[in-house]
Homo-oligomer: A and B are copies of this chain.
Amino acid sequence: MSCKEESVKLTGTVADSLRALPLFQSVGEGELALFTHAARRVEHPKGKVLFIHGEEAFHFYVVVKGWVKLFRETLDGAQAVIDVLTQGHIVGETAVFEGGQYGFSAECVEPVELIMLPTTLLKSAIEGNQRIALNMLGSMSAHRKHQNREIEHLNLQNAPQRIGCFLLRLCPDNPPTNSITLTLPYDKTLIAARLGMKPETFSRALAKLKAETAIEIQGPNVIIHDLQGLVKYTCNYCSSEFPCKEE
């Protein structure tokens, strides 16, 4: 799932949106203008495939609104969901380090607004601009920590705990009370896939989590009646504490 720290609010013009990204922090106006001029705002319906694993990568994307699923398919036809990203996340930019090919596929899971940018421009900026290279290193490093945590959870947490963790990441950092209502960001089938669970495993795990921690599901809403109870149930089996600042 997305890291809280990486989420960035994008409003206003394309230039405003790009400026708000960690990738362009402290980057000069001239360099930023190259990206702004080359940028195109695009909108896509649910189901639109942005690119396919192995394709030549002409563009990368900034998500302005909606959710984009990153995935790979096995020879056997199964789909592994690598990530599901939303506003403020960049998609496809790592192709510049991977021989100019996308390392996974990307699909819009609902109507999506994006800023589309040429990868050639990013490649030359990284090679010629130390600030952009350093910003890119910072975000790659944050992503690495995020993946380490994910591998840790897949190794050590059971399925109900992984769902608990997904819910806790949707909570504000300093919830005012011990009871809180959340809205799921996308449908349960995709949440199951994102957490690496088959739908039937997800259903059983969710039932167990409800029984153990007294959460309630009402359509797309989740009511956590005892936040501290959920934290105890989930975060004792993790190497960081709630609220999860580390990744």
Contact = CB atoms under 8 A, between A and B. Distances in A.
A241 interface: yes
A61 to B, nearest CB: 17
Interface string A208-239: 00000000000000000000000000011111
Interface string A236-247: 111101000010
Contacts of A241: 75
Contact of A143 (B75, B76, B80, B144): B144
A97 B155 contact: no
Contacts of A47: none
Given A72-B239, A74-B238, A154 B155 contact: yes
Copies of this chain, complex-wide, total: 2
Secondary structure type dominating chain A contacts? helix
A83 to B, nearest CB: 9
A126 interface: yes
Interface in A53-109: 53, 72-76, 78, 80-82, 94, 97-98, 103-104
Interface in A150-203: 150-152, 154-156, 196
A138 interface: yes
16 contacts: A72-B152, A72-B239, A74-B152, A74-B239, A75-B237, A75-B241, A76-B237, A80-B151, A81-B155, A94-B144, A127-B134, A130-B130, A130-B133, A147-B148, A151-B154, A154-B154
Interface of A: 53, 72-76, 78, 80-82, 94, 97-98, 103-104, 126-127, 130, 133-134, 136-138, 140-145, 147-148, 150-152, 154-156, 196, 235-239, 241, 246
* 5 tightest Cβ-Cβ pairs between the two chains A and B: A155-B196, A97-B141, A72-B239, A80-B152, A147-B147
